[in-house]
Amino acid sequence: MKKFGAGFVLALCVLVSTAVLAEDGLTVWTAQGVAHGKTINNGRVKAFLGLPYAAPPVGELRWRAPEPAAHWKGVREATEFGARCAQNQLFPDMRFQDAGPSEDCLFLNVYAPADATAASKLPVMFWIHGGGYESGASSEPRHNGDFLPLKGVVLVTINYRLGVFGFLASESLAKEQGGTAGNYGLMDMIAALHWTRDNIAAFGGNPENVTIFGESAGSFAVSTLMASPEAKGLFEKAIGESGGAFSGALSVDKAAMQEKKDEQWVQSLGVKSLAELRAMPVDALLKAAKDRKGGFDVVIDGKVLTESVEKSYADGRQAHLPLLAGWNRDEGSFFAAGVTAEKFRANAGELYKENAPEFLKLYPAANDAEALRSAVDFGGDMFIAFSTWKWIEAQRKTGEAPVYRYHFELAAPVSKFVKVPAAFHSDEIEYVFGTLDTREGAVWRPEDRKLSEEMMGYWTNFARTGDPNGAGLPEWPRYGAGDEIIHLDEKISAGADPYKARYEFLMKYGLPKFGGD
């Protein structure tokens, strides 16, 4: 009888082991190596968690464009979330399922229907989390992939560098990197899109049918990636939830201004070189960033962005692809504390002078209750709605593709962090993902679950075809000459935009200026 050496036996064991893994449908061959996932939602969804899409951005790679992820040997267990990106906690309602923050954080997660195979070619939905470009992660429970894949899509959720690690753009970094610096968080998103394009077919996704979608900062990112030459051709559709890089919060600054401001901040740290700056401990940088007035902004870096986002759209150089976008009714709910009719009218006079009467027709304040509602409306317009409206309008004018606009209106019940029923900023996320039960302290009603099912249908239909409409859903009209929008409420309805006059007023007279750093 022929004898076999130990090496042959080991190789045979690996082969048999891999074959067994492959039979369970949870083993995928990626460009970096073999990954083994798990099932969730009672076996109905396959999840592959914590997959590296780029090299750890540490040491010499801190504040550099992402490098390719390394290959690994053997089978990588993809059953736990990778570390979230280093950050200061800004929002108390953000909860995470990973082991903790780290600078080594460029991981993504893939969720697919349990029966998906490499031949499925399902539409791909690529999620970019919010958090002001300062906080957040793909491991937040509200972004879980238990339910969206059941609508026949493959879901990808990502981490990207945040705050000082993702957007520092100092003069010394610009000198080192050939002219301009910054936008590392956006570069991470683009690297993750490349990874998706190269690997998603193995999970059952169609690399030629990718929809990017995001909320708040994630929505700002969607509008920005549509204008980026570096992201061209990496996605076919876009969804924006509450945010657009069209002035206001998270607007694109001029590179030279940002680089000078960031250089002054770096000098205040007492470091004498980029090597010393890169050697600073993560916690020390986070503390210094937290104490700094103002954040770290997206800039025109000459590569990711070669001009302002607004100019790209105005001149028709953005991606010409279908867009679904909108915002929530009560985005400005945190602006309403202590508002009275008298105070609101006085503020209107200070802000808009002789134009205050016109303002008060659009944001009326005949009594305290009316003033409170107007304060929420105006606060939301200043904060996020006006910039999102400008993005939608720009894409409608020059994008040469269908646009669908929504207004999310169902007031969610009170919960741990929400004391008054409202359709507040970020409220729609759990509806979109079908993850209502991850919100702490909320007691959901039948109308919430019904709307969640309808929104999952709209979002996934759009990812599939570029049109949100489908069987069993109220008709969602295309945003055209009649300014048609859909109202996402207990009962969905559609009609002409009732808020247009507000945004035309703000286009004419501008948003108030409140100083800054």
Instruction: For residue 84, give the CATH number of its domain.
Output: 3.40.50.1820
Q: What is the mean pLDDT of the chain?
A: 93
Percent of the chain residues past pLDDT 70, beyond the cut: 93
Please check whether residue 342 lies inside any domain of the structure.
no
Confidence label for 128 from pLDDT (cuts 50, 70 and 90): very high
In this structure, how many other beta carbons lie within 10 angstroms of the beta carbon of residue 449?
Answer: 14
Residues 6+ apart with CB under 8 A from 450: none
d(CA 513, CA 508): 15
Taking the alpha carbons of 146, 147, 150, 156 in that order, is the dihedral positive or negative?
A: negative
Burial (CB count <10 Å: 0-12, 13-18, 19+), residue 88: middle
Confidence label for 2 from pLDDT (cuts 50, 70 and 90): very low
pLDDT at 19 over 60: no
DSSP symbol at 385 = I
Please check whether residue 140 lies inside any domain of the structure.
yes
Going from the C-alpha of 243 to that of each of 129, 217, 218, 223, 380, the distances in angstroms are 12, 7, 8, 8, 11
Contact 478, 404 (CB under 8 A): yes
Going from the C-alpha of 113 to that of each of 65, 138, 152, 204, the distances in angstroms are 33, 19, 7, 8
Question: Averaged over 110-132, what is the pLDDT?
Answer: 97
**Nearest alpha-carbon partner for 355 in 509, 230, 468, 137:** 509
Contact 159, 85 (CB under 8 A): yes
Please check whether residue 471 lies inside any domain of the structure.
no
Minimum mean pLDDT range among 5-9, 25-29, 31-35: 5-9
pLDDT at 247 over 80: no
Residues 6+ apart with CB under 8 A from 172: 263, 266, 274, 277
pLDDT at 252 over 90: no
Question: Averaged over 433-437, what is the pLDDT?
Answer: 98
Per-residue pLDDT reduced to its tens digit, 384-399: 999 999 999 999 999 9
**Nearest alpha-carbon partner for 394 in 246, 179, 190:** 246
In three state form, how does the secondary structure of 151-180 look?
Answer: HCCEEEEECCCCHHHHHCCCHHHHHHCCCC
Per-residue pLDDT reduced to its tens digit, 291-338: 888 789 999 999 999 999 999 999 999 999 999 999 999 999 988 888
Pairing of strands 75-77, 101-102: unpaired
Contact 140, 129 (CB under 8 A): yes
Per-residue pLDDT reduced to its tens digit, 442-455: 999 999 999 999 99
Taking the alpha carbons of 474, 478, 482, 488 in that order, is the dihedral positive or negative?
A: positive
Q: Which residues are catalytic?
A: 216, 331, 425
Please check whether residue 330 lies inside any domain of the structure.
no
Question: Averaged over 109-138, what is the pLDDT?
Answer: 97
Supply the pLDDT for residue 225. 98
Contact 461, 148 (CB under 8 A): no
DSSP symbol at 392 = H
Please check whether residue 488 lies inside any domain of the structure.
no
Pairing of strands 484-488, 493-496: antiparallel
In this structure, how many other beta carbons lie within 10 angstroms of the beta carbon of residue 75?
Answer: 15
Supply the pLDDT for residue 255. 73
Q: How does 271-293 read in b/e, with b if 16+ C-beta sit within 10 Å?
A: eeebeebbeeebeebbebbeebe
Q: How does 390-416 read in b/e, with b if 16+ C-beta sit within 10 Å?
A: bbbbbbbebbeebbbbbbbbbbbeeee
Confidence label for 257 from pLDDT (cuts 50, 70 and 90): confident
| Token pair listed for 73 | 């040997």
Our count of domains for the chain comes to: 1
Max CA separation in the chain (angstroms): 102
Confidence label for 253 from pLDDT (cuts 50, 70 and 90): low
Contact 349, 363 (CB under 8 A): no
Contact 204, 155 (CB under 8 A): no
Please check whether residue 306 lies inside any domain of the structure.
yes
Confidence label for 249 from pLDDT (cuts 50, 70 and 90): very low
- Domain of residue 163 covers 22-321
Confidence label for 489 from pLDDT (cuts 50, 70 and 90): very high
Question: Averaged over 23-32, what is the pLDDT?
Answer: 90
Residues 6+ apart with CB under 8 A from 244: 219, 220, 223, 325, 387, 388, 389, 390, 391, 392
Supply the pLDDT for residue 13. 37
Please check whether residue 463 lies inside any domain of the structure.
no
d(CA 416, CA 437): 13
Per-residue pLDDT reduced to its tens digit, 62-93: 999 999 999 999 999 999 999 999 999 888 89
Supply the pLDDT for residue 517. 39
Please check whether residue 407 lies inside any domain of the structure.
no
